[in-house]
Structure 1
Amino acid sequence: MKTKLLLFLLGCLPLGLLAQTVTISPDPFAETEQITLTASNIPWTGGVYLWAWHFDSTGKQINNPDATGTNFNNSPETARFTDNGDGTYSYTLTPTEFYNNTGITRIAYLVKNQNGSQQGTDIIKNVGAFSVNLTAPANTTTSIEGGTSFSITATAGVTADFRLLANDTPVNTQNATTSYTFTTTPNINTDYRLEVTQTGTSNLVVRSFRTLVKPTPTAAAVPAGLKDGFNFDPSKPDEATLVFYAPGKEFIHVKGNFNGNDWSLDNTYLLNYDAAADRHWIKLNFDSATPQDLLYQYVVEYAISVADPYSTLILDEFNDQFIEASVFPDIPAYPVGKTSNPVSYIERDEAVYDWKITDFTPAKREDLVIYEVLLRDFDDAHSFQSLIDRLDYLENLGINAIELMPVQEFDGNNSWGYNPAFHMALDKYYGTRNALKTLVDAAHEKGMAVIIDVVYNHATGQNPYFRMYNTSNGGTGGQPSADSPFFNQTATHSYSVFNDFNHSKEATRSYVKRTAQYWIEEFKIDGYRWDLTKGFTQNCSASDESCTNAFQQDRVDVLKTYADMQWEKDEDFIIIFEHLGGTTEEKQWADYRLSEGKGIMLWNKQTDPYNQSTMGYAENSNINGASYKQKGFSNPAAVTYMESHDEERLMYKNLAFGNSSGSYDITNINTSLKRMEAAGAVFFTIPGPKMIWQFGELGYDISIFTCEDGSVPDNDSCKLSPKPDGWDYLDNAQRVALRDNWQRMILLKKQLAVFETSNFTLQGSASNLTKKVLLSTTQAGTDEPNYVVVLANLNVTNQTITPDFQETGTWYDLMTNAEYEVTNTTAAITLQPGEYRIYGNKTANLSTSVAQKEQNLRVYPNPANSSFQISQEVERVRIYTIHGSLLKDESFDSGVSQVIDVSDLQSGLYLVKAERDGIEMTSKLIVN
């Protein structure tokens, strides 16, 4: 499971005249009376903090109390205001307790951001008033039925004059009394102000409160065929119907930038209610002045404003400003000052995407080679387009499935994405909706499936269904309330973060189905990797890890239900669970509907044994767990990986902690890269789906714990920090050699039937780090091997290995097609440290592809000093830098010597493109 820290890109707004206001209630007040400071119109992000001081009875100024700290540039969390979820922030205190003093004559304060770069003005308030207690109403805002009695009662500590105003109009006066009682019957929303003056003085205390009259929604059935959320037909651009599931909520309004509403509460936009469906809904007809970029929110029982839980895009008041126009152009301005919190965003004029590929079928699961991508760190542009631009690279590597870390709307911009807020909305930080569709289409053109990581274990405090049912009165903090139809009040497993979904509830299951099926239908996504499936039980507690890791039938059942829901939309849909738990539970999923050609796949983490092997340490280096048979599966359901987003990089640990013997030292980068080749040999050749973490094929060696400044602390504080991409590695010949050899292994895996066999064994000695894979098949073609023997020495000294060839005769090194005569199947073979062999009893006649063309083309000598030649006659040769700049372009007639002079080139890595009969072939050249 993911590290639970979240990182956000927070920009500093220019310091200037700030429009925030701070009110105090009650006012005036006694030093022993509890008061609440309320701040609004805050123009900065990152929270509101209190800076405070006071004056004693002598008039002496006394500095800050402990709660607000002594460092103006680094306020503690005890000084933080509570976010009320409606654009206001509150801080409650009792002066004598807060300041730890008595005889307080004045309190002083200002509001600021945490580091003090943004601040308001000083406010000083006198302390002292006769006491007034408003006993009814109990809350500052009360929702009532129109025409019902509403009682107002108050008491004063001394004789006082009471004056009540309703919407600024005096309605009642009672003088010279210590007790006030008045009953009214409001029929409209009313703001009340009770002014209490000590009789015979000018001492005034004011108490303010309001009543909101509950409207009665029109009873009407939801029109047939509509789904929860925004129902819109682009052919009817001037109308839409909103459907909102909000159980237990009596009335709901919608507000936004449509029809001149301008974010106001108006009973014209009170939603209808369908009691049978338990849904609120409204049909909107847009006038000509309504923008094409439609923005809206629901107002739930006058209390909180939320975006549609089924939004497909949202506006974020704090983070959108940091998204480049090149990634997502023309983001509408947030309606600052008119509302707060996320806003639903609909592009009514969004171009309908014209799909090129409509019948894509993913590769067989046993042939899957998945490339896991965090778009934020894959390229500086952090966009879907930047991945599209690199698809040729992934295609040449042999990748047939891309797994994107979460792209559903998450809090902030700078994130791994495991902090989801809106499960149906695309996060704009990576690009537009059509940009994602373009990526999927382009990947399908190249034979690659697109899998996305989905997070349905939890949701953050921004999720509308959390805010509607929580203990913070619609804020983003607190915990789910007891009446939540979606969330557990406390987590029922031991790996919880944020707010834990209750998957036994029908509301949650419907939410998951609606949002998950949407991505399949709308974006033609080919598969999901389900994060933290251990959390889908209701049987455990946050403190009981043994329960969480034990077999739980409810978890098995609900996840099978979710699998059915995905296959309902796409019978070939790829389903992968990150369970990393007991095989008894995993086997039930692996076998589920297997007779129909389905079955669920499971993440199979083998980081530790592979990294122990590449570092040259025998302890815990047994890689037999890379076999799905070792897990007890009857089919290749285990997605095995050496690295994922969540693991330390193998190459980093190789270079930091690698073993050595004499001159052989794994902390030498070239030595370590060669060992990664050997690891690949006993990874890709084991039957079953495989996954590579981005740039693993180039030996990515930046620690997962590296901070943005390049430091690596002794803790995980920087685990989620941005990391540099690996494209500069293409300038390094040894790293490219690792990539090329993995490319060859992947091609063997995908094209030779022997690597799909179930007749294979893994043998490895934990004492000497030798590894062996034996494979046999009866399904191979007549011109391809039906026996394969893979040998690898991951020790730091020479090792002798018994190969156990399945037959005598001529065998072939499948990496080079070099012949190897076997006269004795058990004759020992000696391998140098880090050396490996992949032997087949026939040559590998691989089909024509870009990768195969590169294998056929040979430049020699390579590395070259002053010139090189081509292994086959060609018509044209061009030499490029690794970044694509053309340096040489030569044409040749048939029979003419094809020696190419490179004496004028600097040492480095180059691309050589040769052309013959209209076919281009590419190879790499190292110039010394």
Structure 2
Amino acid sequence: MPFGACVLPDGRVRFRLWAPAATSVELCLENQAGADILLPMHRLSDGWFQLETAQATSGTLYRYCIDRSLLVPDPASRANPDDVQGPSQVIDPASFNWLDADWLGRPWSEAVIYELHLGTFTAEGSCTAAIQRLDYLVDLGVTAIELMPLADFPGTRNWGYDGVLLFAPDHSYGTPDELKTLVQAAHVRGLMVLLDVVYNHFGPEGNYLHHYAPQFFNEHHHTPWGAAINFDGDGNGCVRDFYRHNALYWLEEYHFDGLRFDAVHAIIDDSLPNILEELAATIQAGPGRNRHIHLILENDGNQVNYLQPGGFTAQWNDDLHHALHLLLTGEADGYYADYADQPVLHLARCLAEGFAYQGQASGFRNGRSRGQPSRNLSSGAFISYCQTHDQIGNRAYGERIGMLAPQQRLQAGLAVLLLAPSPPMLFMGEEFAAVTPFQFFCDFQGELAAAVTQGRRREFAGFTAFADPVARARIPDPNNPATFLCSKLHWACLELPQHQDSLDYYRRLLALRRTFIVPRLPGQSGSGEFELLGATGMRVCWRLTGGSRLSLLANLGNDPVAADLQMTGSAFYISQADLPEAFAAGYAPAWCVAWYLDEAPI
């Protein structure tokens, strides 16, 4: 890695910093006796400063002194134990004893993803504590955990999207070695580990790059967070290298099995290849040659050119979530309005073809067209879910779907989602109907904290329920520690029958998926077919590996649907015992779901 602190074979440490706007840079080594050591760094070409010294070793705390006036942490710090304003720490990655040499990952066709936030997944909120829940996840039927961003953020609590030191796991979760131990423990149990990374902006506090490397940003492109990351302007080479090496760092140094790239629609890059294409090619030519590496996008643009042949494995499918959420809850505010005309049509199209919006105009986006045709991609390119950190946490009070939808509706929706060919994703705790919310929380101070709190409440001013300022004032304060603490999962509720029943239902569905669906997914290509049945019914069919035919028949409405409901194949899931008789009589009862598998050749 060309950035940061690197322990050399002879024990010395090489320090490198890209500071093109600095006149001088000194390495400041923290001395336990209180007298810091300042060592001048050598100026190299193209804005680089470097020093190799025997006065530092693994564990040494250090900073960079810019122009003899500003002390800053290393932007490529591997650890920052005293938060983002404090000194960085030299880490020797070779000192960790990896025991997973035989681990090559798992094919994407087996993916059942469990998104979790390390700080709220357990009471302790640490990597070490999370290990104690891995056997539970295996028993649930999960094959991959997806960690929300870990890059060092200001304070002790954050969703992770305010990271500023992108190579340093936040110390509130544990040391680098403890994170590696978590990854290794997951691999021992056959679990993949994916990491959410944020390459579209830095957090609002603790980023010093503007002071000594303003070329890191491009003022010609603007984002909701200010000037864009400079992927295509003058001096972009070092910036692109920074992110290429960050992606490789997590995959190689921490043995992660894949990355989820946050909000790539907010990455502005007019160069060819753009940074996303370069990242995918770099990873495929690197760790992707020898093991399964899965690259996942969040992309509001619904662009298909990145997916599968474009180097990325799959995309979060918000279209499916929004249509399903509207059906389950009746909520049609905000972006849900785009799906309110025919929610069953939008959901059926997502199940069969990937996106609902494949170039159509979006009313929520002021009539702009959104998306590209997606029916030529396989189902594996679209990750399905009924809950995510966003869809829960961006609500004013962080309510989960179980608090919003009647149980019969929710169970029908889950039967559709978890047995469809697309890889499903759960958000931590949903499987046992967690009653704890997942609210937006952070740990800023002073004026920034007040601005974030006020901004959070202003976001809801357009909603009828929060038109009154008094109602908005009741929205939880993100900076209040209580907002974070109430978002922690309460695992003890598993002792109550209703939560155990919910867990058993998820286990049953995922066991059916493992038995009937997963073995027939490898090699599947192309889309499915769908037809609408009455106002709220749908039939969706897919061709899977070996010529087998998978079929779904569902009525996601309050009234029975009359139609020709003859199905071929054997039913492996029916939501009500009397469904075969109802179908034979020509109607589908309210909120019913049935799945069929036909092994006959094409």
For the aligned pair, the TM-score class normalised by the smaller chain equals 0.7 to 0.9
Per the alignment, residue 51 of structure 2 pairs with: 282
Alignment partner of 1:492 is 2:219? no
- Matched AA of 2:498: Q
Q: Find the residue that maps to 1:627 and give its secondary structure.
A: helix
Does the 8 Å CA contact 2:4/2:17 hold for their aligned counterparts? Answer: yes
Q: What is the CA distance between 1:819 and its match in structure 2?
A: 11
Name the residue aligned to 1:299.
65
- Separation (CA, whole Å) in 1 of partners of 2:477 and 2:221: 26
Distance 1:755 1:647 in 2: 28
Show the counterpart of 2:491. Answer: 727
Offset at 1:258?
4.8
Which residue identity does 1:353 align to in structure 2?
F
In the alignment, does 2:295 pair up with 1:575? yes
Counterpart Cα distance in 1 of 2:527 and 2:421? 9
> Is 1:270 paired with 2:29?
no
1:515 partner amino acid: N
Residue 738 of structure 1 pairs with residue 472 of structure 2:
no
Against the structure 1 CA distance between its residues 345 and 397, is the aligned structure 2 distance closer, same or farther, given a 3 Å change threshold?
same
Determine the C-alpha separation between the residues in 2 that align with 1:307 and 1:653. 38
> 2:278 is matched with which residue: 548, 561, 579?
561
Are the counterparts in 1 of residues 352 and 528 from structure 2 also a CA contact under 8 Å?
no
**Which residue of structure 1 aligns with residue 317 of structure 2?**
604
Q: Match of 2:304? A: 587
Q: Distance in 2 between matches of 1:654 and 1:231?
A: 46
Render the CA deviation track for 1:839-885: whole Å, top value 9, x for unaligned.
34579xxxxxxxxxxxxxxxxxxxxxxxxxxxxxxxxxxxxxxxxxx
| Matching residue's letter, 1:414 | R
| Cα separation, 2, equivalents of 1:772 and 1:797 | 17
Q: Distance in 2 between matches of 1:377 and 1:259?
A: 34
SS of 1:682's equivalent in the other structure is helix
Partner of 2:121: 378
C-alpha distance in 1 between matches for 2:441 and 2:245: 38
Gaps of 5+ in 2: 332-339, 356-373, 443-456, 458-464
Q: Distance in 2 between matches of 1:683 and 1:816?
A: 13
Q: Which amino acid aligns with 1:790?
A: L
Provide the rounded CA distance (Å) in 2 between the counterparts of 1:707 and 1:273: 42
Residue identity over aligned pairs, in percent, reads: 22
Which amino acid letter does the alignment assign opposite residue 485 of structure 1? Q
Secondary structure (helix, strand or coil) at the match of 1:485 reads helix
Report deviation, 1:612: 1.9
Tell me the residue number matched to 1:387: 130
| Structure 2 residue identity aligned to 1:232 | V
Partner residue of 1:908? none
CA distance in 2, matches of 1:466, 1:695: 40
Shift of 1:778: 5.6
Deviation per residue, 1:366-410 (Å, 9 max, x gap): 331111101122111111122211111111111111110001111
Q: Report if the CA contact (8 A) 2:555-2:588 is conserved.
A: yes
> Taking structure 1 as reference, are residues 815 and 433 closer, same or farther at Cα in structure 2, changes over 3 Å only?
farther
Change in 2 beyond 3 A, CA 1:801/1:396: farther
**Cα RMSD after superposing both structures:** 3.6
- SS of residue matched to 2:61: strand
Counterpart of 2:555? 793
Instruction: State the SS of the aligned residue for 1:488.
Output: strand
Displacement of 1:628: 6.4
Matched with 1:462 is 206
Q: Output aligned runs, 1:450-849, within 5 Å.
A: 450-460=193-203, 461-469=205-213, 484-489=214-219, 491-493=221-223, 496-497=224-225, 500-504=228-232, 505-538=236-269, 554=271, 557-571=274-288, 572-581=292-301, 583=302, 586-593=303-310, 598-605=311-318, 606-615=320-329, 619-622=341-344, 623-627=347-351, 629-631=353-355, 632=374, 633-635=376-378, 636-648=380-392, 652=399, 672-704=406-438, 714-715=471-472, 718=477, 721-722=483-484, 723-752=487-516, 753-754=519-520, 757=524, 758=526, 760-765=528-533, 768-777=535-544, 779=546, 786-800=548-562, 802-806=564-568, 811-814=570-573, 827-828=584-585, 830-841=587-598
Relative contact order, higher structure (CA 8 A, sep 6+): 2
Whole-angstrom distance in 2 between the partners of 1:425 and 1:592:
32
Cα 1:342–1:561 change in 2 (3 A) is same
Q: How many Å separate the matches in 2 of 1:776 and 1:398?
A: 24
Judging changes above 3 Å, is the alpha-carbon distance between structure 1 residues 371 and 620 closer, same or farther for their aligned structure 2 residues? farther
Deviation at 1:450, TM superposition (A): 0.7
> What code does the residue aligned with 2:556 have?
L
Deviations 1:396-444 (A, max 9, x none): 1111111100011111111001011111111111111111111111111
Q: Provide the secondary structure at the position in 2 that maps to 1:641.
A: coil
**Alpha-carbon displacement from aligned partner over 1:326-371 (angstroms, at most 9, x marks no partner):** xxxxxxxxxxxxxxx32112356x8932222223233332331111
Output the CA distance in 2 between the equivalents of 1:291 and 1:507.
Answer: 26
Asked if the contact 2:574–2:595 (Cα under 8 Å) also holds between the matched residues in 1, the reply is yes
Task: Report if aligned partners of 2:402, 2:410 keep a CA contact under 8 Å in 1.
Answer: no
Question: How far apart are 1:294 and its partner, in Å?
Answer: 1.0
Q: Deviations over 1:794-836 (max 9, x none)?
A: 32244445434136xxx344479999989x9x83454543333
- Are residues 426 and 707 of structure 1, via their aligned partners in 2, closer, same or farther at CA, if it must alter by over 3 Å? closer
The structure 1 residue matched to 2:86, chosen from 342, 352, 356, is 342
What is the 5 A alignment of 1:67-466?
227-233=2-8, 236-237=10-11, 239-258=12-31, 262-263=35-36, 265=38, 269-275=39-45, 278-286=47-55, 293-316=59-82, 341-346=85-90, 352-460=95-203, 461-466=205-210
CA distance in 1, matches of 2:489, 2:189: 23
State whether residues 759 and 777 of structure 1, in contact with CA within 8 Å, keep that contact through their aligned partners in structure 2: no
Write the letter of the residue equivalent to 1:273: R
In the alignment, the residues of structure 1 paired with residue 312 and residue 284 of structure 2 have an alpha-carbon distance, to the nearest angstrom, of: 10
CA contact (8 A) 1:769 1:793 kept: yes
SS at match of 1:414: coil
- Give distance in 2, aligned partners of 1:346 and 1:300: 19
Structure 1 residue 734 displacement after superposition: 3.3
- Secondary structure at 1:312's aligned position in 2? coil
Please state how far the C-alpha of 1:727 moved relative to its aligned partner: 2.0
The structure richer in strand per residue is 1
Alignment-derived partner of residue 19 in structure 1:
none
Higher helix share: 2
Contact 1:608–1:620, Cα closer than 8 Å, also in 2: no
8 Å Cα contact 1:520-1:569 kept in structure 2: no
Amino acid paired to 1:372: E
Residue 68 of structure 2 aligns with an amino acid whose one-letter code is Y
Q: CA deviation at 1:754?
A: 4.5
Indicate conservation of the 8 Å contact 1:252/1:300, yes or no: yes
Which amino acid in 2 is paired with 1:532?
A
Q: How far has the Cα of 1:465 moved from its partner?
A: 1.8
SS state at 2:89 partner: strand
Q: One-letter code of the match for 2:48?
A: R
Give 1:447 deviation, angstroms.
Answer: 1.8
**1:874-885 matched pairs, under 5 angstroms:** none
In 1, Cα distance between equivalents of 2:210 and 2:161: 17
For residues 284 and 316 of structure 1, what CA distance do their matches in structure 2 show?
A: 23
TM-score by length of 1: 0.51
Whole-Å Cα distance in 2 between the matches of residues 579 and 367 of structure 1? 23
Amino acid in structure 2 at the alignment position of 1:603: W
In structure 2, distance between residues paired with 1:409 and 1:251: 26
1:681 shift after superposition? 1.4
User: Greater CA radius of gyration, 1 or 2?
Assistant: 1
Residue deviations 1:567-588 (CA, integer Å, cap 9, x gap): 233213211111121x4xx211
How big is each residue's C-alpha offset from its partner over 1:247-295, in whole Å with a ceiling of 9 and x where there is no partner? 2423211112259782254xxx1112223x6422112113xxx786311
